Structure 1
Amino acid sequence: MQSFCLFDTAIGSCALVWQGEKIIAAQLPEHDETTARRRLAHRFPEAGEAEPVAFVREAIAEIVALLAGEQRDLGHLPIDLSATSEFNQRVYRVTLTIPPGETLTYGEVAARIGEPGAARAVGVALGQNPIPIIVPCHRVLAAGGKTGGFSADGGVETKLRILTIEKARTSAEPSLFDSLPLEARRR
């Protein structure tokens, strides 16, 4: 049986979906609660709204803290990625290792899974991420510090908002402006 709950964060109302003892999906904020519920019903027609169980309450607390600006690594949360392809699982395992405030490029993720040249496929996999924020796909950028895409409501603006909250670095090189938030780059 699948269950879901909505919860408020600094960037809006998010949702988690769980089955058994694992989180199977997360939803970043939609325009409004009605839209969020509609999207959840479309993605998980069998799921019913429920009070969060203990591990979901812990996940909610961690996500709320992260989106409030606290440095939190969500990689320890119990998730189930078995419904995704083996390639996507490899991409998500690498993505889970990116700490808050850091980023990798699609090409770097491709190299780390042993498939250099598969940057585009990595981008597709991240666009299919069923558990965004826990599997931090927002921490993966295009080459040259460009944002790349983001499939959540609000698109790249939502991605930049989360990266700004995390005070993300787009390079391993120290910068004179390390304490400044990431800004959208003009195209």
Structure 2
Amino acid sequence: METTIFQTALGAFGIGWTDTGIARLQLPGLGPDELTVQINRDGGVPGVPSRAVQLLINQIEDYADGAAVSFEQTRLDLTAVPSFHRAAYQALLACGWGQTTTYGALAKTLGGAALSRAVGQAMGANPIPLIIPCHRVLASNGKAGGYSAPGGALSKLRMLALEGVSVGAPVGQMGFGF
């Protein structure tokens, strides 16, 4: 896997890709050294983005600037991901900009509400957050629930606010710095 780090209005992102597609995305919130370690873990090496990867980076920069961006055409490499997780991510890809769903609703599309915890585990293990929009998955009570990216649930709320979704506190009370 090749990787690169790039700056946005939200902070530094890391991205990893293979010949198959995007395999990893690291959201802002880590220091430069930790970001480098995280994006290059498991054998990732710095590379030069292809045209397709550079176009995706441009989309992520637009997202960070507040533009409504769709990543649905992005080629993904999920070969190292368990099959249930892949199914959960595929179901989640239908949840577009400014929309939310719940762990339970995703679980029902995958076979039943009893799979809610498994959906939560899949979201927590998401290797490509933002592109696979796990930040759009809420708890059944409409609250943020957890988030495994740097900054935890606060980062999730900030991303949702950027998309015009208010969860809990009014949007004006949340900053956008990761």
Structures share fold, TM-score greater than 0.5? yes
Distance 1:132 1:105 in 2: 16
Aligned counterpart for 1:181 among listed residues 148, 171, 178: 171
**Residue 47 (structure 2) aligns with:** 50
SS of aligned partner of 2:114 = coil
2:15/2:24 contact within 8 Å kept: yes
**Residue 96 (structure 1) aligns with:** 93
**Residue 35 (structure 1) aligns with:** 34
Q: CA deviation at 1:126?
A: 0.4
Alignment gaps of 5+ in structure 2: none
Q: CA deviation at 1:169?
A: 5.9
Percent identity, please: 34
Q: Which amino acid aligns with 1:181?
A: V
Q: CA deviation at 1:21?
A: 4.1
Distance 1:91 1:168 in 2: 22
Q: CA deviation at 1:168?
A: 2.1
Aligned counterpart for 1:154 among listed residues 128, 151, 154: 151
Q: CA deviation at 1:3?
A: 0.5
Q: CA deviation at 1:90?
A: 0.8
Q: Which amino acid aligns with 1:147?
A: A
**Residue 175 (structure 1) aligns with:** none
Q: Which amino acid aligns with 1:156?
A: A
* TM-score for both structures, normalised by structure 1: 0.86
Once the two structures are superposed, residues 158-182 of structure 1 have per-residue CA deviations (whole angstroms, 9 ceiling, x without a partner) of: 1111111011266xxxxxxxxx638
Once the two structures are superposed, residues 29-88 of structure 1 have per-residue CA deviations (whole angstroms, 9 ceiling, x without a partner) of: 1331111012223x33x2211221111101111111112111111111111112111110
Aligned counterpart for 2:62 among listed residues 65, 85, 91: 65
Alignment RMSD, CA only?
1.7
Distance 1:88 1:65 in 2: 28
Distance 1:67 1:181 in 2: 16
**Residue 78 (structure 2) aligns with:** 81
Alignment gaps of 5+ in structure 1: 171-179
**Residue 177 (structure 1) aligns with:** none
Q: Which amino acid aligns with 2:145?
A: G
Distance 1:20 1:13 in 2: 23
* TM-score for both structures, normalised by structure 2: 0.90
1:130 has 2:116 as partner: no
1:98/1:139 contact within 8 Å kept: yes
